[in-house]
Amino acid sequence: MPRLGMVIDLKRCIGCNACVLACKQENGTPPGIHFARVITREVGTYPQSKRTFLPVLCNHCDDAPCVKACPTGASYTRPDGIVLVDNDLCIGCRACAVACPYMNRHYVAPGLLQAGYDGKPLSPYEALKYLDFQEGTTSKCTLCAHRIDRGLEPACVVTCPTDARIFGDLEDQNSRPRKLIEERKGWTLLPESNTKPSVYYLDA
Amino acid sequence: MTATNSGSKALDRGRWITSTCGMCLHGCGIRVLVVDGVASTIEGDPTNPDNLGKLCPKGNSGIARLYDSSRVLRPLKRTNPNKGPGEDPKWVEIGWDEAYEIVTRELGKIHMTDPRKLLCAFGDFQRIVLWGWPAAFGSPNFFTSLGNYCGGSYHPVNGSVDGSFASINDYKYCNYWIQIGSGDGFSSHLHLSGSAKRMADARMRGMKLVSIDPRCSVAGAKADEWIPIVPGTDRAFVLGMAHVLVHELGIYDREFLRDRTNAPYLVGPDGLFYRDDDGRAQVWDLQAKAPRPWNEVPAENVALEGAFPVNGWSVSTGFQVWKDLLADHTPERMSEVTTVPAATIRRIAQEFVEAAKIGSSIEIEGQTYPFRPAALNYYRGSQSHANGLFDNMTYKLFNMLVGNIDVPGGHLGVPLDHRGFFISPGEDGMLKPEPHQLHPPPPFKYPPDSTHLMEFFPIGFDAGQLNTETILEPERFGLNYRPEALLMYHSNPVWNLPETDKVEKILRQMKFIVAIDIQHTESTRWADVFLPARTYLESTLLNCLEAPVVTGHSMRQPVVNPIGDTKDAYEILTDLAEHLGFLEVWNSVLNLVCGFTAKPQYLLDAAKHYSVEEFWDCYARSVYGEERNLTWFKEHGHAVRYRNAQETYQPYGKLRMPFYFEFVKRTGAELRRKLAAANVTNWPFDNYQPLPFWKPSPVIEDGKRGYDFYAITYKESLHTFADTVVLSWLTEVSEKDPVHQGILINGATARNLGIATGDRIRLTSPAGSIEGAAVCVESIHPQVLAVGNATSREFVSNPRVQMKGSPFNRLLTGSLQYSDGATGGLESTARVRVTKVRAGGTENQSVSRSEAPNRS
């Protein structure tokens, strides 16, 4: 079985947030919701201090706590490993958001879709994109399943100016992400959570 | 339903349209997915070698610009006669006919009497061919910074060295990259998306990166080494390294300096080249032990160094003159200026010169070139200072010491546009210096016509900051008229010029102000009429601007039907020219600017009003021939291709570049004579020097007046410095990043001052003061406070966007005293006092985002 995932090369990443905005425009997420984020930190003290950048998104875990926590079966894992939410089954209990140790579940609060950005009437673009969201349900990164199903890579991968995001089948021994994980000892976030993420990182 | 309906629908039913990004000035290739007339997704155009399918966060936010609810969609007329920052203009919507009627009536009076009385502020770099409109009207005035913060001294020196407009290191072959005050490849400057890719590839193949910056910029964050420095002293750091190469290590590219520059030309005691009776520059012939014309001595006999007796004088080679100047620029002395340890200056100099592999060569595309894989890249922060000419000269000369200019691995010129390097032979086997590339050099004239005194800057850029001094004190410079009206086209002079109070004072003097823009700004609030332009997703042009590794135009075309009742900026300016009765002059100016005069078959008919498509069709055919007309571009999107080795590396062949900038000295002397004849004696001639050295700027001197700290600005990738701040898509991200949350201050400095993150602080410079929330960070020099590009606006049209109220330019002095007298470049650093206004944070508040998942 394939297991679709991604490697994020922190050496290449410059924390530019292109992935954040590519995700925003591809998915049309309402205000305040970002499926892709970049966490910036400062480490050390002057003059040995440095800034670091960590892009995050849903890890599409192999052992996804959000799926296990979902009482209705709305959260599910596709055969290719992508974790999705069926909005029609979601009751908005947010057990998934509590269960996700990575804070990658986003609740679409009632009223959120009534106006667009800045509280203005929906733009034609928002009217188009908001069809994908339902108030009172939980939304999340789909790994751009709609693109993958049409032979395209996720929006965050396509746009990444430094080619820091490498998408592919982690089960395929010859895939680029798989090889990079092996060559550069890829690691995952919060391994103690035993979630088996499909998003790996390479050292900066 | 599943979570992918609209995306699926767009991909299944939508149509991809190729175009050009307009979220900053450079114009990456894009393709836009349009479904049922709605723009659904913008991606980088994968067929465009410039950005290779990639886009920065701004480019990814173009849809937010298109559908921005605060755009101006219909012409507006002001009904409140009172003007000022707090005044509501009380706009009412009007039709285009009425708008044109008002503008024509008001500007017509000036056009008929003294057209110089119109101030113009043009800021749309992608439509640079329209910048001749003021000239067609009859006004020489540019009332805006016009990129002077970045390019005031930068462009003139690039143009003088090799006919380029900008410069960059060789991403492909460089192995040791010193980045000094620049965001290239990380956050800003030339074509960010493609440059970020090329920089990342270079780092991955092992290129060493050293970042010199007062603040740990993104370049600093990713560099092998970040070296903090006092702002405005970068030149001292590099002069110290030059000292090490020339006086301590004795390693430099003698062959390059001798054969490819004027470094061996003999300099007389007057500072000019020693010439024979025929006016030929002389070199010292080591064999004949005598001066001989530069082109009559075999290279191996030409002395690069030394002082020689000639006719009772002592003449030195240009190289020797700089070597002598550098003698006291020891790392120890430069360390005192910069705060960089002398040992670091020595070590970086040594690493650099070793990595340069002087003497090596490489074959590319069948041609052998010198190979110098070490280079120093610089931009905004390291050279936008009151001695910017010296800064730029220093960085070029340091690169010349290892012979890396325009060779593989080295420091490469970047042409302005598709025309490539401006190359023509000058004097003494040299390239002709091209300090002016945006317009012909302005002839000297006294009294001056222009309010920014272009007539007094024979090698300078358009010094927009001088407008305030000239207009408010016209008698000082002999200006014999008073401006009465202002036309702004996608420019925001209230925000982009220093000393905002003075700018606003001038605006109060204006009898009429008209703005062409897509949204309200600090400046449009002053307008009497607002003419709404179209966004980049609704308009048409061909773009080719400052691309590091590619050349050729990409097309911008409407991807959706225009929203509201707006017009393409070309149409607005052409309509105005027609209404004001100078369409014929406008067309003739376009003929000149677009190069149609050199290809008469493409000359515009003077009396014809060309539509935007007709105009760009003519432009396309004039550059690419009849086959590649606008229809071709609509289909193919772009004609962008990689520049080949011949176009990239030493495209000027054996023509020499200046090491000793004799023409600068001569130009200064000539200007001094002309101004003396006009009885102007208080002009700053000091910087008309042939070689750079260390001298403190007025800003450094301000430290003695109790302004203990330095204030700087910086730019990161989420925003331009200007109009992206209106977009909530971008600000809701930047607001969460500590570097965009306020004024950055070093943690230890803050503790000493009793300041904590979140406290409101005030910075006061000799020119003015600003306030903002303190953000304590470690990654900044202890003497420096920094204001980012997301926090410098005072007013934007989107009420949701919380303005941080730290308009940096209020701290800058826009006077001649704080400008480079030779280039007009302005001082972009200020000395400040820091005071705490009120507490607002907690002493130990962390600025790192707390939601970060840990690795383990």
Summarised one tens digit per residue, pLDDT across range A34-80 is 999 999 999 999 999 999 999 999 999 999 999 999 999 999 999 99
The answer to whether the complex's ipTM is over 0.90 is: yes
pLDDT digits (tens, 9 = 90+) for B600-632: 999 999 999 999 999 999 999 999 999 999 999
**CB count in 10 Å sphere of residue B300:** 10
Please calculate the CA angle B231-B232-B234 and round it to the nearest 5 degrees: 90
DSSP, residue by residue, B12-76: HH-EEEEEE--SSSS--EEEEEEETTEEEEEEE-TT-TTTTT---TTGGGHHHHHT-TTB--S-E
Q: How far is CA B689 from the centre of its chain?
A: 23
* Closest residue of chain B to A129, computed from CA coordinates: B6
> Which residue reads 């030149």 in tokens?
B235
Q: Which of B181, B823, B154, B692 is nearest to B394 (CA)?
A: B692
Alpha-carbon gap, residue A183 to A166, rounded angstroms:
14
8 Å CB contact of B200 and A163: yes
Contacts of B56 in chain A (CB under 8 A): 16, 18, 161
pLDDT at B855: 44
Nearest beta carbon to residue A51 from set B43, B732, B779: B779
pLDDT band at B439 (very low <50, low <70, confident <90, very high): confident
Alpha-carbon gap, residue B622 to B421, rounded angstroms:
19
Contacts of A54 in chain B (CB under 8 A): 852
Nearest beta carbon to residue A120 from set B12, B39, B69: B69
Structure token pair of residue B578: 């027609």
Q: Which of A101, A126, A120, A97 is nearest to A109 (CA)?
A: A97
B478: left (phi over 0), alpha (psi -120 to 50) or beta: left
Please calculate the CA angle B34-B40-B44 and round it to the nearest 5 degrees: 85
Contacts of B12 in chain A (CB under 8 A): 150
Report the SS3 class of residue A193: helix
8 Å CB contact of A21 and B730: yes
Q: How far is CA B100 from CA B140, B220, B529, B573, in A?
A: 23, 50, 9, 11
pLDDT digits (tens, 9 = 90+) for B49-92: 999 999 999 999 999 999 999 999 999 999 999 999 889 999 99
Q: Which of B193, B252, B151, B248 is nearest to B26 (CA)?
A: B193
3-state secondary structure B220-279: HHHCCEEECCCCCCHHHHHHHHHHHHHHHHCCCCHHHHHHHECCCCEECCCCCECECCCC
Position B805 pLDDT exceeds 90: no
Q: How far is CA B217 from CA B183, B244, B363, B375, in A?
A: 8, 27, 35, 19
8 Å CB contact of B718 and A17: yes
Contact indicator for B604, B618 with CB cutoff of 8 Å:
yes
Position B96 pLDDT exceeds 80: yes
* DSSP code, position B810: G
The answer to whether B37 faces chain A, any CB pair under 8 Å, is yes
Position B851 pLDDT exceeds 70: no
> Which residue reads 């723009």 in tokens?
B39
Structure token pair of residue B306: 């030394």
* Closest residue of chain B to A149, computed from CA coordinates: B8
pLDDT digits (tens, 9 = 90+) for A139-180: 999 999 999 999 999 999 999 999 999 999 999 999 999 999
* Closest residue of chain A to B223, computed from CA coordinates: A50
Q: Which of B58, B73, B26, B70 is nearest to B726 (CA)?
A: B70
pLDDT band at B792 (very low <50, low <70, confident <90, very high): confident
Q: Which of A99, A97, A102 is nearest to A65 (CA)?
A: A99
Average of per-residue pLDDT across B721-730? 89
pLDDT at B854: 42
Q: In chain A, what percentage of residues exceed pLDDT 70? A: 100
Give the distance from residue A171's alpha carbon to the nearest chain B alpha carbon, in angstroms: 23
Alpha-carbon gap, residue B179 to B169, rounded angstroms:
9
Chain B interface test: which of A8, A13, A14, A82 (most B C-beta within 10 Å): A14
Structure token pair of residue B243: 């000292």
Torsion, Cα of B291, B296, B297, B303 (10° steps): 40
Return all residues near B48 (Cβ < 8 A) that are at least 6 apart.
Answer: B28, B29, B554, B637, B638, B640
Chain A interface test: which of B778, B783, B856 (most A C-beta within 10 Å): B778
Structure token pair of residue B491: 């420019």
> Which residue reads 């590649």 in tokens?
B628
Instruction: Tell me the average pLDDT of chain B.
Output: 95
8 Å CB contact of B778 and A44: yes
pLDDT digits (tens, 9 = 90+) for B631-654: 999 999 999 999 999 999 999 999
Report the SS3 class of residue A52: strand
